[in-house]
Amino acid sequence: MRVIAHLQARADAVYDETYHHKLRGRLWDALDGTAYGSLHDENRPKGFTYSNPFPPGDMREGDEKTLLVASPHEELLAHVAADLKLDRELNIGEMPFRVESVNGLATDVGEPGTSGTIETGTGVLVRIPPWRFEEYGIDTDHDEAEFWRPEHTMEPFRNQIENNLDKKHGLFCPEYQPGPSAVDGDLFKGADLIKTFSIPVTVTQGQRETWVLSKWRFDYTVRDDHHRRHLNLALDTGIGERNSLGFGFVNITEKDGRRPGTEERIDA
């Protein structure tokens, strides 16, 4: 599930592509003092992710943008929503906004048989650990994790995404249900790489690194209830790594209209 916040620019501003760290700060502030505050220091997926303020681009005072925050934890989203309503001023670095409204959204890829497309709203971070280099035939002169790039082929990308979602499944879904790697079939039917790009990311205060990210369009057809749960988990937690920095946020952009009333389109 997710929270949708409608924002209005309070001043003319240049769009800051490196907004992640600043926006993360506000969200952690919202969780400070709650049961989710302690997640901050734990070395595991945090269970939330968020979009960029979209549509991206420079803004004039009064322009409207939208922000989505997703999580499998309703209570976590309630804290974020309450914070955004309590303090309407949302400053993401040099981008000053006022929160005009906050609402809840239920997202669902649809029941078995439904086809659709999921797109990454923000860049996906996939790092291939050095102990997998040999398996994937990656020849490098360093022993640090390698950012995924197209020349590494789809296999490591697919495996890392699935392993990562497996880990989240273990954390956020009932333990008696099979995770993505425990079922037959791929998470996605097809994958279209839109682009790869690199940006400077403030990982923690004072530590800035350049990360290689990618944007994707994934097609899916829901096979069964397990597959539906896995895809919905990806919508709630994001795909790939560092989702609590806003990476790997995904949206349903198309869903077959076999059953009117069940479609939900969000353009981010």
Partner 1 sequence: MSEHSPTVSNRSEIVFAYDAVDANPNGNPLSGANRPRIDPHTDQAIVTDVRLKRYLRDQLQDDGHGVYIRNVKEDDGDQATREDLLEDRLKDIDLDDVDEDDIESAVFGQFLENSADVRYFGATMSIDMDDEKVDHLPDHFTGPVQFSPGKSLHRVMENEEYNSLTSVIATGDDKAQGGFDLDDHRIQYAFIGFHGLVDEHGAEGTLLTDRDVRRLDTLCWRALKNQTISRSKVGQEPRLYLRVEYADESFHLGGLDQDIDLDRAESAPVEEIRNVRDICVDVSALLERLDEASDRIDTVHVVASDVLELSVNGETGDREFLYDALESAVGSDAVRVIDVYEDATATMPEE
- Contacts with partner 1 by CB under 8 A lie at 1, 3, 74-75, 77-79, 81-82, 85-86, 88, 100-104, 106, 108, 111-113, 174, 176-177, 225, 258-262
Q: How far is the CB of 7 from partner 1 (least distance, A)?
A: 13
Q: What is the DSSP letter of 56?
A: -
Question: Looking up tokens 């506000």, which residue turns up?
Answer: 26
Q: How far is the CB of 44 from partner 1 (least distance, A)?
A: 22
Please pick, among 12, 32, 41, 143, the residue that the annotation labels catalytic. Answer: 41
Report the residue number, 86 or 139, with the smaller CB distance to partner 1: 86
Print the SS3 string covering 79-101.
Answer: HHHHHHHHCCEEEECCEEEEEEE
Region label for 246, one of left (φ > 0), alpha (ψ between -120 and 50) or beta (otherwise): left
Shortest reach from residue 254's CB to partner 1, in Å: 18
Closer Cβ to partner 1, 79 or 152, answer by number? 79
Residue nearer to partner 1 on the CB measure, 153 or 262: 262
CB of 195 to partner 1, least distance (A): 32
Catalytic-residue membership of 41? yes
Distances (CA, A) of 116 to 40, 110, 186: 34, 9, 15
Are 50 and 242 spatial neighbours (Cβ–Cβ below 8 Å)? no
Helices in the chain by DSSP H: which ranges? 20-31, 74-86, 133-136, 154-172, 225-237
Q: Which two tokens stand for residue 227?
A: 């597959």
Instruction: Please say which residue, 113 or 137, places its beta carbon nearer to partner 1.
Output: 113
Active site residue ranges: 41
